[in-house]
Structure 1
């Protein structure tokens, strides 16, 4: 059996992470806080006092002391295990005090006492189960966050001669990562940018995105020709599909739409674009908003659909791109975001309207934030697909 890695004092990393998860679970679910201090104990305490006061001030034929069994149940939902246990004991003591104040003919004693004791024990056990479930969920989210940072590595705000901003919204909020991907790779032949969307969801889509990004980071750095980078990506998706098929997996037919951009190293005010069936990018700036006419290429992984003798790679096209303009790239989670009435999000019209009102909206951070807020507002926060908004501008 493999031993867990040990830290200082012989304490294993597994134990430390488990304890950390427990503390985080308790902290995250103490939602009732005032000035940084938890007040989760206030509602069950107020309920206990209210029941005791009402029971002491009603007639003997209307006894509600047995309602004290509700107190540990309320504590189990919002307090920690020790707090719930404390309320279970406090409820027993409160019941004994309240019940003993009544004459003998109105006292319930043993039946209600057993009821409150059992209620306290069950509430404490339920609280322990709840906290363990929260710890498990936090560990899963931590793993998902690690995967996200591995696939979508953090990028400096200024990288490769570009200022950029990005927003990634996973349709599955617990997964934190899906089939959308993006990256910037500076190199001796200029800076390359890749934004794409793998068909489907789940771990298979994440694996395909990771495979494409790893190839892009190497080819984007070493290859002098952007067309060669594009070819390397097509080979990589084919190899990935062959590997998945050899394993007998049913998702071996995945494909990906993508935009591959190249910014020449000589500082030319231009951008080279290879479009693998992706939504065309927008350029926003002082001269308005325009869509780059780059449609027509097949997605990565569908090159075998092309008849023999017909080029499978989309062409590399160059477009003017001034220093005061921003290139906006999005996945179909933006353009296919639907309002309750079924209408799609009008990306170009909305960006044009925003720039008409304030030209500063063209800055990458502002532009990305504007599109993100617009998509969430348009769809009422109900995302049916992973959504990526990516904007770059020359420094």
Structure 2
């Protein structure tokens, strides 16, 4: 070493520091790269992505190779720096100067700077690095395999598998976070649709059904003229027929079938009953994604929802499920409130007591609890534990509410004042 000039040693030291920076940035770039984008690029035939993906199939080998290279160049740099410092400062100060000086240089130029750069631009670092790491792994495979054999044996004692398989799996909540973190890459409306699909498993038919009292149905025992009038004025393509009570449901009739009979002058009660289609029943606790699959398998679009005793509780359609995913079907792109909601000039909101709590939360961006009663009327009654009088005020889930109208033991109209909302974690009676 005495025959080698100091300038040559400085050049060698600079090269070793550059190699250390390369190994450090390669490690961070490889580990920071987006695995899902990597798979996408690999599917498109990107050569760099294919090389990186192959290296990441065995992260233990990749990390072993990088650390072997990094430690070799760092130790060599330390030896050369010691020689240089011995010439400059003498043997007494050489160790101290080498330790302090080389540590600072390696931290700045071989660790923090390259790793920060690689974390910010992982693809720009990982793809070119794979051109060197792939053949280097082949050349150094015996050494890497030997070291990995020892480290994998230690990991085996800890019951840890070195394979990277399964690390890319996402739970439903993690996937929800990925969707929202996509930002402008996915439009807000599309984000809401994707998240709604994920939530179908947590929403049941009971949550979105048309309540029994609101089902548009026709009593087949009514006067024939009344039946004709209701059919011709119906806003629905399918109408439920029943005898005296919805509990004695006959079936659904398609308005198209009724019009066909009318056009042939065959429109009578007898022919109408023959045109009735069989009723499809669904339990109120069935998740929406399961109900949607059943609709698809049975070629159905509408079902009556029954409770555990078989009593009819409501009605649900395929359109209701689709609206749960993509939002309400409207004929205008302008924002509009549902018929249960009326926003007042003072900022308060008049809400129908029969309004569905989940729909209110989605439409108004409120936070009423959805684990219990499905309607605002039921939620208030459960909270008060009695049927209140009109003009009674309360605070429910942080929202000031004034009961405006009560009729037939049901809360018909309430006033919600969201501007005075105070978040609460638990709702308990006063």
Tell me the TM-score normalized by structure 2: 0.24
Give the number of the structure whose residues are more often helix, by fraction: 2
The structure with higher relative contact order (CA 8 Å, sep 6+) is 1
